[in-house]
Amino acid sequence: MPPRKTATTSTTTKPTSDDTKACAIILNYLVSQNRPYSATEISSNLHNAVTKARTDKLLKEMFERGEIAGKASGKQWVFWGLQDPNATSTPEELAAADARIAALRGMIPTLKTELKSKSTALSTLRSAPTTGALREAVQAMETDKQDKEERLRVLRAGSTKPVNAEEREAVEAEWKRWKRVRDARKRAYLELEAMLLDSGVITKEALWVRTPPRPDDATSSGWRG
């Protein structure tokens, strides 16, 4: 079935109730298109200037009067306008048509490139945040900014002062130094304990009785690291 074409014959939105006028609209459309259409397609392509039911009725009447041609196509009929068999195109008209066809074909590569570019741009726009999403993000950032400004105001107004980078680095260095000392003492203690236990002279329980652990040393289950 041929594809639908946008009709330029009529832009009427209110269907006509005049059969004579409706027949003229249908006939003019079929002759101008010069291809078969069903009643549904004709009514749709004419933007319902003639209703489908009226189009179907008038097409059959026009066909019976010999004003148009038609034939059965599957479960429906298709109709087309009668063309003058004596009407021929001049060589100039044929040459102009060929030139027009060649020009249109030459535009195809450019149009394809433009279509690809615009499709990419459209895809980018569709993937971008919407205005609503941007507004929500801005509002969230404003709220976060206000919270941080309030916290900063409280810190500046109180006795607690923020620790600067130099002070933080000094504290971290001191902590690392004492951690190394602690690790060295831990290794020494574990080595000594292992030597005493391996000798068999004393058991672990007896060792802990003789040397009560300090809170920062070993526990009854060994060194607390």
Residue 111: pLDDT band (50, 70, 90) is very high
Taking the C-alpha atoms of residue 45 and residue 49, their distance in angstroms, rounded to an integer, is: 9
In degrees and rounded to multiples of 5, residue 218 shows phi and psi of -90, 165
- Pick the range with the lowest mean pLDDT from 4-8, 161-165, 170-174, 196-200: 4-8
pLDDT at 8: 45
Taking the C-alpha atoms of residue 60 and residue 41, their distance in angstroms, rounded to an integer, is: 15
Beta 76-81 vs 68-73: how paired, if at all? antiparallel
* Structure tokens given for 23: 């027949």
Taking the C-alpha atoms of residue 68 and residue 77, their distance in angstroms, rounded to an integer, is: 12
Specify which residues 35 forms β-bridges with.
Answer: none
Taking the C-alpha atoms of residue 138 and residue 161, their distance in angstroms, rounded to an integer, is: 30
CB atoms within 10 A of CB 21: 13
Whether 142 has a pLDDT exceeding 80, the answer reads yes
Which pTM does this prediction carry? 0.37
Taking the C-alpha atoms of residue 156 and residue 162, their distance in angstroms, rounded to an integer, is: 8
SS3 label, residue 72: strand
pLDDT at 172: 94
pLDDT at 52: 93
* Structure tokens given for 153: 């105001």
pLDDT at 155: 79
Whether 220 has a pLDDT exceeding 70, the answer reads no
* Structure tokens given for 107: 């535009």
Whether 139 has a pLDDT exceeding 50, the answer reads yes
CA distances from 56 to 22, 29, 30, 51, 193 (A): 11, 15, 14, 9, 108
pLDDT at 184: 94
pLDDT at 213: 56
pLDDT at 39: 93
Sole residue written with tokens 């902590």? 175
The per-residue pLDDT for range 31-57, each reduced to its tens digit, is 988 889 999 999 999 998 999 999 999
Specify which residues 71 forms β-bridges with.
Answer: 78
The per-residue pLDDT for range 72-105, each reduced to its tens digit, is 988 899 999 987 766 667 888 888 989 999 999 9
pLDDT at 46: 93
8-state DSSP, 35? S
Radius of gyration of the CA atoms of the chain, in A: 47
Sole residue written with tokens 């832009």? 11
